[in-house]
Structure 1
Amino acid sequence: MTNPAPDRLRFTTIAHATHRYLSPLSPEKAARLIDGLALRDGAEVLDIGCGRAGFLIDLVDRAPVSGLGVDLNGAFIAAARAEALLRGVDARVRFVDRPLADGVGDTASFDAIVCMGSSQAIGTFAEALRWAHAHLVPGGVALFGDGFWRRRPDPGYLEALGGATEDEMTTHAGNTRVAREAGFRVLSTACASDDEWDEYEGRYCAAIERYVDANPADPAAPAMAARIRAWHDAYVTWGRDTLGFGFYTLLKPASPAP
């Protein structure tokens, strides 16, 4: 009998159980990114695909603003609400576990939009940038985190990523050009370090390995173990040197570009 494939939503929930952020990001860099947004008091912030909302909660805790986090994963949203209550910011942040189109109206506008590795909630990176530009007030800011190729991907790595193609991403410089083409002014950029990647992938791998070790009777455990071992092997073989993750702080001009 073939073991069933692990449920994707359940797998990612378990795999991210110990992550503060669902991207390769340290608390120190997160603080710098938050400060770089330079938000005014009372600003309204949307976090697309907020996950457990570690970044949004840090932002609301660090600045006198309000936030809306949207994510399809109900378990992540439950964890986000609990953390916001624990941190004492629950009055200034709310969460919606529905598709973005349902959680945010067509005419909604925000002072800031955060999208950390969740462009797929809208479409491509370029489509997500255009969506954000349309939903920001003039002079509003966006912070996008998204992948890029550090070098040309090996065919074996593309296969390990589920049949990805090289043209699905560009370079770090390419991402900045896409942001400008969407109408933004690029304020600053940063990249995830090797240590941040190792921390992210290490926690991802360890959470699954610990789960399958503690739950051998789970019918999905063999498939989960096979999946995480193949994933981590691809990371150490190719991914660590191939896949980058960039952070792009962007401004929607309040006046026509010179």
Structure 2
Amino acid sequence: MTAPDRLKFTTIAHATHRYLSPLSPEKAAWLIDGLALREGAEVLDIGCGRAGFLLDLVERSAVSGLGVDLNTTFITSARAEAARRGVEARVRFVDQPLAKAVGDAARFDAIVCMGSSQAIGTFAEALRWAHAHLVPGGVALFADGFWRRRPDPGYLEALGGATEDEMTTHAGNTRVAREAGFRVLATACASDDEWDAYEGRYCAAIERYVDANPADPDAPAMAARIRAWHDAYVTWGRDTLGFGFYTLLKPASREP
């Protein structure tokens, strides 16, 4: 059995998600308010997916946004949703690599990166990139994984041969942000309920797809993958993998 196409799998698996991360609308609103953006601010969302968060931000604040994601299906959906919400004049979307979509000289008032650090490199590299592309006094909202406890070797294997040193702790993530030059304004973590909602939708979307499309040659591999993934989540992931949100400030002046 060959592995299912990664892009096809993730597109189907996230078909019913508002956000492509373990995040509730209530926490999203709190995070948006915490950015305290001025009117007319320009916001970059790295790996925006279907742009649920960016569109919430543009609706809630008088700002403009640029969403970048390689998934053309997600970008098409984001454009349609922007039009439905009536904010298409204040947001644009690009389905290109970040390096092509955003030039070296580009600067933003705010940068959002919700679990998409890999678009740049490591978490630390993504933070440094964001710091360089923010105006002084600009803000960033990063979300990234962390270990809630030491991962079981079986869980690391289930994650595709991950290693423990690929992530640190929640406190470790905040230290990495400070080392990149940011001041940490606030932090938060995904709750168990947010994780269950995210993983439940992820699993259900694939199971419903393979049930409705038994003739798809990818269906057996997709079914095997989602069942192994969900088993790893309930066995280890729910108690091991955390997801942190970090609201950060690029200082406008020297550190006191």
TM-score scaled to structure 2, two decimals? 0.99
Q: Distance in 1 between matches of 2:195 and 2:87?
A: 29
Deviation at 1:152, TM superposition (A): 0.1
Secondary structure of the residue that 1:144 maps to in structure 2? strand
Question: Structure 2: how far apart are the matches of 1:86 and 1:234?
Answer: 37
How far apart, CA to CA, are the structure 1 residues paired with 2:37 and 2:83? 23
Q: Distance in 2 between matches of 1:134 and 1:195?
A: 35
CA displacement 1:158-203 (0-9 Å, x = unmatched): 0000000000000000000000000000000000000000000000
CA distance in 2, matches of 1:79, 1:85: 10
Tell me how many residue pairs correspond in the alignment.
254
CA distance in 1 between counterparts of 2:157 and 2:80 reads 38
Q: Tell me the CA shift for residue 116 of structure 1.
A: 0.1
How far did 1:146 drift? 0.3
Separation in structure 2 between the aligned mates of residue 130 and residue 138 of structure 1, nearest angstrom: 14
- 2: CA distance, partners of 1:26 / 1:161: 24
Q: Secondary structure at the match of 2:121?
A: coil
SS at match of 1:106: coil
Counterparts of 2:104 and 2:97, CA distance in 1: 13
- Post-superposition offset of 1:238: 0.1
Partner deviation per Cα, 1:26-70 (whole Å, 9 max, x = no partner): 000000000000000000000000001000000000000000000
Which stretches in structure 1 are left out of the alignment for 5+ residues? Answer: none
> For residues 18 and 101 of structure 2, what CA distance do their matches in structure 1 show?
23
Deviations 1:140-169 (A, max 9, x none): 000000000000000000000000000000
Q: Deviations over 1:95-132 (max 9, x none)?
A: 00000000001100000000000000000000000000
C-alpha distance in 2, partners of 1:233/1:142?
Answer: 34
3-state DSSP of counterpart to 2:146: strand
Distance 2:153 2:217 in 1: 32
Residues in 2 aligned to 1:50 and 1:105: alpha-carbon distance in whole angstroms: 18
**Secondary structure, counterpart of 1:216 in structure 2:** coil
Tell me how far apart the structure 1 counterparts of residues 65 and 185 of structure 2 sit (CA, whole Å). Answer: 22
In the alignment, what sits opposite 1:222? 220
SS in 2 for 1:24: coil
TM superposition shift of 1:257: 0.4
Give me the whole-angstrom Cα distance separating, in 1, the residues matched to 2:198 and 2:139: 26
Deviation for aligned residue 1:221? 0.1
Query: 1 CA distance for matches of 2:85 and 2:143?
Result: 24
When the two chains are superposed, the root-mean-square deviation of aligned CA atoms in Å is 0.2
What 5-or-longer segments of structure 2 have no aligned partner? none
SS in 2 for 1:68: strand
Q: After TM superposition, what 4+ stretches of structure 1 lie above 6 angstroms from structure 2?
A: none
Look up the SS of the partner of 1:21 in the other structure.
Answer: coil
Secondary structure, counterpart of 1:35 in structure 2: helix
Please state how far the C-alpha of 1:138 moved relative to its aligned partner: 0.1
- After superposition, what is the alpha-carbon deviation per residue over 1:231-251, rounded to whole angstroms, capped at 9, x for unaligned? 000000000000000000000
How far, CA to CA, are the matches of 1:135 and 1:94 in structure 2? 18
